[in-house]
Amino acid sequence: MNESPADTDEVLVARAQSGDTSAFDQLVIRYSPRLYGMIYHMTSNKEDANDLTQDVFAKAYRSLRRFRGRSSFYTWIYAIGTNMTLNFLKKRNRRAAWSLDNLDSGIQNDEAMVDLAHAANPRHQSDLNELQKKLNEALQSLSNRHRAVVTMFDIQGIPHAEISKILKVSEGTVRSRLFYAHRQLQGHLEEFIK
Amino acid sequence: MSEPKTQVQKLIRLKRFEEPRDGYFEDFLAEFRSRRDEGGSLSSRLVSGLDNRKWFIGAGMAYAALLIVVLMWPIGPEAKTDPTRQPIIFEPKQPVRNSVTPPKVPTSIPRP
């Protein structure tokens, strides 16, 4: 590859728009972990997250000529990802066969997770497997819109202002959704908070 | 921020440590490239297919239009086949023979 890691998004987008596929590959490398993370935490399913993230980049690639740079590439692709994920979840929620049993579990052996779980909750030496299951269930109990803001703010650390641009809602709405979601999550995770 | 909410956020933040296996994103890029290449050839096939289809649709439309014109052509009463009508045969006019011509009436009666 002939691009340097220092290439800005604007440079890579301009090159990709003029047909340089390797520039777009660089954008995929740059943003796939965060985008996959957002979609994974929204869907709680690895296969769905993989397929959706692929679809998001494919759609972004097809629509790249229409990208005028009014927002950052990061905001733009996140908006595509969020919309596609929300649409996917709407369809999935209609499917009767889908249940919480389909949620993934795979962090119980993650050392960082073990340490952090104990640090977050030293009095409650709970089984990590159980904790993850509860976390996923708690997240899935939220509406899709509320889960989106929790995912972006609490898990991914995206600021309110950026979330409001991605979701095209006011910052007040973002804060209010977060407040409501935290209150609801508190009820679901009470046993781990005491 | 109240303490329980902080605890909730701390718990939820644990999820950021859920990451895919090592090498996942390299495979992801390879899969994306492969799909893009397939998509490119697929879209070009689609475009050429659309071109062919355009001609096919155009020809079909023209044929359908012709068929409609033929079927809907107004048929006048004279064009209908009427068994009571006989074909008109044009024959050259001939002098009428054997026709009874009234005798000439003398315009003046001869005097005896």
DSSP A58-94: HHHHHHGGG--SSS-HHHHHHHHHHHHHHHHHHHHHH
- Which of A28, A41, A182 lies at the smallest CB-CB distance from B15? A41
pLDDT of residue A190: 86
Q: Examine the pLDDT at B108 and tell me if it is beyond 70.
A: no
pLDDT of residue A142: 94
Mean pLDDT by 10 residues, chain A (194 residues): 70 94 95 96 92 96 91 95 95 67 53 52 61 88 95 95 96 96 92 76
A44 and A91 co-located in one domain: yes
Provide the number of structural domains found in chain A.
2
Residues A155, B13: C-beta atoms closer than 8 Å: yes
Residues of B whose CB is below 8 A from A29: 25, 29
Can you list the alpha helix ranges (DSSP code H) found in chain B?
Answer: 3-13, 24-72
A66 and A85 co-located in one domain: yes
Residues of A whose CB is below 8 A from B5: 182-183, 186
CA of A107 to nearest chain B CA: how many angstroms apart? Answer: 6
A161 and A115 co-located in one domain: yes
Residue of B nearest to A188 (CA): B8
Domain final residue pick, A66, A98, A130 = A98
Of B18, B15, B3, B12, whose CA–CA distance to A178 is shortest? Answer: B12
A115 and A193 co-located in one domain: yes
Residues A193, B11: C-beta atoms closer than 8 Å: yes
Residue recorded with tokens 């109990």: A141
pLDDT of residue B51: 47
Domain final residue pick, A58, A80, A98 = A98
Looking at residue A180, which CATH number applies to its domain? 1.10.10.10
A82 and A7 co-located in one domain: yes
A28 and A62 co-located in one domain: yes
pLDDT class for B5, splitting at 50, 70, 90?
A: low
Looking at residue A3, which CATH number applies to its domain? 1.10.1740.10
Of A31, A15, A26, A22, whose CA–CA distance to A64 is shortest? Answer: A15
Average pLDDT estimate for B6-29: 90
Residues B28, A32: C-beta atoms closer than 8 Å: yes
Q: Examine the pLDDT at B9 and tell me if it is beyond 60.
A: yes
Residue A57's domain spans which residues? 1-98
What are B55-100's pLDDT values in tens digits? 566 777 887 888 888 887 776 555 555 556 666 666 666 655 555 5
Determine contact: B105 vs chain A, CB below 8 A. no
Domain final residue pick, A83, A98, A113 = A98
Q: Please, what sign has the CA dihedral across residues B92, B95, B99, B104?
A: positive
pLDDT of residue B2: 45
Q: Examine the pLDDT at B48 and tell me if it is beyond 90.
A: no
pLDDT of residue B38: 82
Residues A54, B32: C-beta atoms closer than 8 Å: yes
Kindly provide the ipTM of the predicted complex, given to two decimals. 0.79
Residues A107, B18: C-beta atoms closer than 8 Å: yes
Higher pLDDT, A192 or B43: A192
What are A155-184's pLDDT values in tens digits? 999 999 999 999 999 999 999 999 999 999
A94 and A13 co-located in one domain: yes
> Domain locations in chain B?
20-72
Residues of A whose CB is below 8 A from B16: 37, 155-157
A118 and A37 co-located in one domain: no
Higher pLDDT, A175 or B101: A175
Of B27, B29, B5, B24, whose CA–CA distance to A106 is shortest? Answer: B24
Phi, psi of A91 (to 5 degrees): -65, -40
A114 and A91 co-located in one domain: no
pLDDT of residue B95: 59
A83 and A168 co-located in one domain: no
CA distance linking residue A134 with residue B34, whole number of Å: 37
A63 and A122 co-located in one domain: no
A2 and A93 co-located in one domain: yes
